[in-house]
Amino acid sequence: MAPVATPFFFYLLSGIMLIGGILVITRKNPVHSALALIVTLLAQASIYLMLYAPFVAGVQIILYAGGIMVLFLFVIMLVSIDRSVKERQFNSQWIVGMIAATALGGLFIAVFMKGKNIFPEHALPVIENDNTQKVATMLYGQYMFAFEIASLLLLVAIIGAVVMAKKRI
Amino acid sequence: MIGQIVRYIQSYLHSDLTPGAAGNMFWALVYIMLVFVGLSVAVIAMNWLERKILAHMQVRLGPMRVGPHGLLQPIADAIKLLLKEDIMPAEADGLIFWVAPFVVVLAAFTVFVVVPFGPTHAITDMNIGILFMLGVSSLSVLGIVMAGWASNSHYPLIGALRSSAQMVSYEVAMGLAVVSAILMTSLNADGTGTLSMIGIVQAQQAQHEWFIFKFFPLGLLAFFIFAVAMVAETNRAPFDLAEAESELTAGFHTEYSGFRWSLFFLAEYSAMIAVSSIAVTLWLGGWLRPFPNLLSNSTWDRVFSLFPGITFLFFAAICFYNTARMPKHPLFRIQTVGLAGFGIVLGLIGLILFIPEVSIRVQDIFWFAAKVAGFMYMYIWYRGTFPRYRFDQLMQMGWKVLLPMGLGVLVLTASVALLQEKLWHP
């Protein structure tokens, strides 16, 4: 089967992602920001698909569709849109932002210029056909402990939410 | 050049892969077109059937005027919808209002990329098939909320919020039921399951059992959870609170009219077909014919391959019977001739389906479609029978009944599978 992971798709998807990301922070209407965010995340899922990681892509779509849904509801219920459209964005920390952006940009350029040794010489073998099975054996075999710790963290969050929401337990 | 193209087209004909998996662009496009046309026809047929069956359940006649027994009513409706004025509320959020119906339709149609109508009759087979279906169909709720919010009106907003709360809560129970079915696919020699839709059906074939009967009653319970959750997921009666007409006019699509409204309609029905095909694939053996093992010799194969043709001949016979019953008034002449012509077309299709080469190729599709049609009838039946749930009852059902049940079924399925492996196949 001919590979679909052509540079054209990569540039297209990253372009969509960048535009979406910029829209997320520049739109004044928070609902528009949330929608731009889902576009960004879907483009990211497609990039995972291009990297022959279909399971990660599928999970990304499922989780973020639900996640953005909840974000959307928060926006509708908690934010007064009429006011926030007129409001000036208050958190304008130019200096810190500049420093962070320069540091990140510098890192990218450094890796691009002399990062040849970091990456493997040859392309890794593609394991698209049993990607899910490979992820499962990794997750429940080699990284079992980390997986359980992560789920414990989520459990703590759930219990915390219940404790905070309920008046009497 | 032309020879090359012809060879490229022919190269797929002897393949036993889906066109997507074989990487054949031409046949993939053909299949996409076929699925799209088939779905649209199915939605039109569903529209007529729903009104007709509901009417008969309530001792009415239903559509009778346009065409014999109202057969052309959906077409008349479609023309009416396309010609209607397309209204956008002045205070609506233009872009989102415009995009929302397309999001819903895209999500509803994209899932059919992985639906297996037969071992080779699917657009493509993905390693993450079922995950893809669940993920993409959960995007449609975004479209619904977008529509409700962008209308900038009270009823649509309440409808959209209800719909989102409902979908988020029933997705959990649904996911648990699906996981317990996927767990059953891993009960083979090498112990690896699969998420691929075709793989799931093949696992049922290999285990000589539909998953609904596996580990009785665990498979049946999981199926029941899914069957309830899928009705809630598609916003249909008795869980149609998002469009409860007595409280919210039409729910999230109150402000939509004409073509855009018909897109929502199309998306709702194709989403119903999509979730029914998930249920058929996971629990009812997908494209497998009934009793593939019990009645498995070649005579029974032959007998079961006659079913598609017999079904179409039966439909043709109904048409002819009603042609004979048509009023003999001259005004009814065109209708009578039309109905007879429709009967002849159906009969010819039935006769073509008796050719062994054809029936072997298409009987998978027939059995799949027949099972899905059963689900569609159930949808109409629910709507005709059950009163609408109140919202707190709905939430109680989702979180306090289906979710614990789903968890229990999942744990029990896993334990029984483990026991079976340890005790019977050491």
The letter for the amino acid at B126 is M
Distance CA B225, CA B5 (A): 49
CB-nearest partner of B149 from A31, A130, A131: A31
Domain A1-87 sits in CATH 1.20.120.1200: yes
At A130 the three-state DSSP class reads: coil
What are the pLDDT digits (tens) for B261-297?
A: 888 888 889 889 999 999 999 888 888 888 777 777 7
Whether the CB-CB separation of A131 and A55 falls below 8 Å is answered with: yes
Q: Mind listing the pLDDT tens digit for each residue in B87-114?
A: 888 877 778 888 888 988 998 898 888 8
Q: Kindly report the pTM of this predicted structure.
A: 0.86
Give the length of chain A. 169
B181 secondary structure, DSSP code: H
Q: What is the DSSP secondary structure assignment for residue B9, as one 8-state letter?
A: H
Residues of chain B with C-beta less than 8 angstroms from the C-beta of A2: 23
Q: Predicted confidence band at B219 (pLDDT cuts at 50, 70, 90)?
A: confident
Tokens representing residue B138 in the block = 């959960």
Tokens describing residue B157: 């907003």
Closest CA to B139 of A76, A77, A69: A69
Query: Which residues in chain A are closer than 8 Å to B142, comparing Cβ atoms?
Result: 38, 65, 68-69, 72
Answer yes or no: is pLDDT of B199 > 70.
Answer: yes
Element of type H or E holding B96: helix B94-110
| Residues A133-152, mean pLDDT to the nearest whole number | 88
Does the pLDDT at position A124 exceed 70? no
Chain A residues within 8 angstroms (CB to CB) of chain B: 1-2, 29, 31-32, 35, 38, 54-55, 57-59, 61-62, 65-66, 68-70, 72-73, 76, 128-133
Percent of all residues in chain B with a pLDDT value above 90, rounded to a whole number: 8
* Partner residue facing B127 (CB), from A54, A59, A72: A54
Average pLDDT score over residue span B141-153: 85
State the Cα angle at B79 between B74 and B84, rounded to 5°.
Answer: 125
* Residue A5 confidence (pLDDT) above 70: no
- CB contact under 8 Å between B168 and A66, yes or no, is yes
Q: Tell me which residue of B355, B381, B401 sits closest to B176, measured CA to CA.
A: B401
Please report which confidence band the pLDDT of residue A3 belongs to, taking 50, 70 and 90 as the band edges.
low
d(CA B186, CA A8): 38
CB pairs under 8 A between A and B: 75
For residue A74, what are its two tokens? 């928060």
Domain ranges in chain B?
2-306+355-423, 309-352
Q: What is this model's ipTM?
A: 0.77
Do the beta carbons of residue B274 and residue B201 sit within 8 Å? no
Cis, peptide link before residue A30, omega less than 30° from 0: no
Asked if B356 has any chain A CB less than 8 Å from its own CB, the reply is: no
B288-297 as b/e: b if 16+ CB within 10 A? bbeebeeeee
- Look up residue B125 and give its two tokens: 């087979």
Question: Are B329 and B306 spatial neighbours (Cβ–Cβ below 8 Å)?
Answer: no
